Amino acid sequence: MSVTFKFDNSYARLPEEFFHKVAPTGLSNPHLVSWNASAAQLLDLELDEQSAPSLLALLSGNELPAGSDPLAAVYAGHQFGQLVPRLGDGRAILLGEVVNRKGERWDLQLKGAGQTRYSRFGDGRAVLRSTIREYLCSEAMHGLGIATTRALCIIGSDEPVARERMETGAMLARLAPSHVRFGSFEYFYYARQHDMLPVLADHVIDRHFKEFARQPDRYAQMFDQVVETTARMLAQWQAVGFAHGVMNSDNMSILGLTIDYGPYGFVEEFDPGYICNHTDEAGRYAFARQPGVGLFNLNCLANALLPLVDAETLKAALMRYEARFTGHFYELMGDKLGVPVNDDEGRAFTDRLLELLYKNRVDYSGFFRELAEVAIADKTPVIDNLFTDQAGFYHWLRDYQNRCEATGVTDAERKAAMNRVNPRYILRNYLAQTAIEKAEQGDFSEVDRLLELLAAPYTERPGFEEYTQPAPEWGKHLEISCSS
C-alpha cells in the first residue's frame, strides 16, 4: 500500500530565485534505522507492515510522493563571522509542505538527499553518525520544551561516504513549520535582489504571523518577534546547558527553532568556556558566548531588512534583546531552583551558584535534581560532597534555604516543581557515542532506547540509573567536529 500525503507547497510557489528544484538522489539498499512514532503523528503516519515498504521508498529518496515538489532552498549566512553570500541546502531537499488532519502544515525535508546546486564541494550526503546525533538531540530538545525542528526517522544504507574515515550514508527525515533562516533574508540582501525581500517576508508572515499580516508595519513586527523568540531560545539553551556549536546565521531559524544539529553538546561539568565543536579553536561559539552570538546574528538579519524597515526601528528592537534574554533566563533559573530569582539580588545569587558550579566542576544537570532533595531545614546535606569549596557552598546554601523559607513553599512542593523542569536525563555525548557505535555495528536498540528516555526527560525510570551518570573517563573528551 503506498503512503500518500496531502501537500500544499507554498514555498515551491515562490519565485524561482528562491530555490533549485531538484529531486532527491535515493540511497542504495535502504533500511529503517529508527522511527519516531511521536513525530510521525504530526503527519498522521503509522508504521506497520503495510506502510513500511512505501515509507522506506519515499523517505530514502527512492520514490517521490505524489504531490511533492522537491527543492533545495537558497540562503546566505555569516559563518564564524564571515559573510558567505550563497550557501543554500547543499544536502537537504524539501519534499513539500504536508497538511495534516488538524490542518497543521509541516515542511517534510530529507537531509542527506544528494547534491544540489548549493552543494559546493560537498557530496550531498549525511552519515549515519550525524543523523543519529541530530535525531536524538532534536527529540531531546523537544522533550525539554525547547522549540526545535523534529526528526521523523533515520534511513540507513550501505552507501560508502568519505569523511575523516569511511562511513555509510544515511538520511534523516526532518519536520518543521518552516526552514526559513536568517540567512534566507541575507541572501537576497547581498545578491542585491531587494525586491525579493518583501516576498520572503510576506511568505513568512502569511504562514506564521497571521496576527499582523495586514498591518503596514508588519515587517517591523516580524523582526520584533524574531528578537523575542531568539532571546527566549537562547535563554532556554543557557538554562538547560545546551551548546549549539555552529551558531552561524544560516543555522538560525526565523521562528526561533533550534535547527541544524552538528557538533552540539550539553554542558556536563559546568564550564562557561565549554566549546563543543572541536573545529572552533577560537571558541567563538563557546557556551557562555551564545547569547551574544544570538545578538550578532540578529544584527545580521536586521541589516538584511534595511530595505524594508527603517534603521531606527530595527535598532530599537535589537536594543530590547538583552533585557528579554536576561528576563527569560532568570525566570527559567528560578524555575530550576524552585524559588524566584528574577530580581537584582536573585540574579546575583544565581550567578554565585554558577560560579561555584564552575569552580567545583559540578555536573550541571545532576546538581539541580540533587538540590531538589535538600530539605530547607537540613544544615548538612549530602550534596556538600560535590563541592571542594565547602565554605562557598554553605554560604550559598544558607542563602538558598532562607529564600525558600521566605516563600513559604514546602520541601515536597519545591521538589515536585523542580523535578518538573530539571531533566533527569540529558543527551550526554558519551551516551550518543555509545548509541552510534552500536548502530554502526547494526544494532539500533540503543538509539531507540535513548529516544524514548529523552522524550520524557523528567520522569525517573527504574532500571535507567546508569543513564544519569556523568561521563566515564573515555567519554569526557570526545572530539566532535563539523564534518558530518
User: If phi over 0 gives left and psi between -120 and 50 gives alpha, with beta otherwise, what is residue 283?
Assistant: left
The sign of the dihedral angle between the CA atoms of 33, 36, 40, 42 is negative
Closest approach, Cβ 87 to ligand AMP, in A, equals: 4
Closest by Cα among 173, 218, 312, 275 to 482:
275
Whether 139 contacts 152, CB under 8 Å = no
Closest by Cα among 135, 128, 137, 140 to 151:
135
Residue with cell 538584511: 304
User: Per CB under 6 A, does 123 bind ligand AMP?
Assistant: yes
- HEC profile for 220-248? HHHHHHHHHHHHHHHHHHHHHCEECCCCC
Element (H, E) at 79: strand 77-79
User: Per CB under 5 A, does 253 bind Mg ion?
Assistant: no
User: Per CB under 6 A, does 87 bind ligand AMP?
Assistant: yes
Q: How many residues of this chain interact with ligand AMP, rule: CB under 6 A?
A: 16
* Annotated catalytic residue within 89, 107, 250, 363: 250
For ligand AMP, give the closer residue by CB, 43 or 161: 161
User: Per CB under 6 A, does 251 bind ligand AMP?
Assistant: yes
Among 236, 249, 251, 290, binds Mg ion (CB under 5 A): 251
User: Per CB under 5 A, does 134 bind Mg ion?
Assistant: no
User: Per CB under 6 A, does 180 bind ligand AMP?
Assistant: no
Residue sitting closest to ligand AMP (CB): 122
User: Per CB under 5 A, does 260 bind Mg ion?
Assistant: yes
Q: How far apart are CA 271 and CA 279, in angstroms?
A: 18
Closest approach, Cβ 110 to ligand AMP, in A, equals: 13
Interaction partner, residue 415 (Mg ion, ligand AMP, none; CB < 5-8 Å by kind): none
Q: How far apart are CA 460 and CA 206, in angstroms?
A: 42
For Mg ion, give the closer residue by CB, 251 or 422: 251
Whether 100 contacts 111, CB under 8 Å = no
User: Per CB under 5 A, does 89 bind Mg ion?
Assistant: no
Among 67, 90, 381, 470, binds ligand AMP (CB under 6 A): 90
Q: How many residues of this chain interact with Mg ion, rule: CB under 5 A?
A: 2
User: Per CB under 6 A, does 129 bind ligand AMP?
Assistant: no
Closest by Cα among 33, 54, 27 to 129:
33
Q: Which residues bind ligand AMP (CB under 6 A)?
A: 87-91, 118-119, 122-125, 246, 251, 260, 262, 482
**Residues with a known catalytic role:** 250
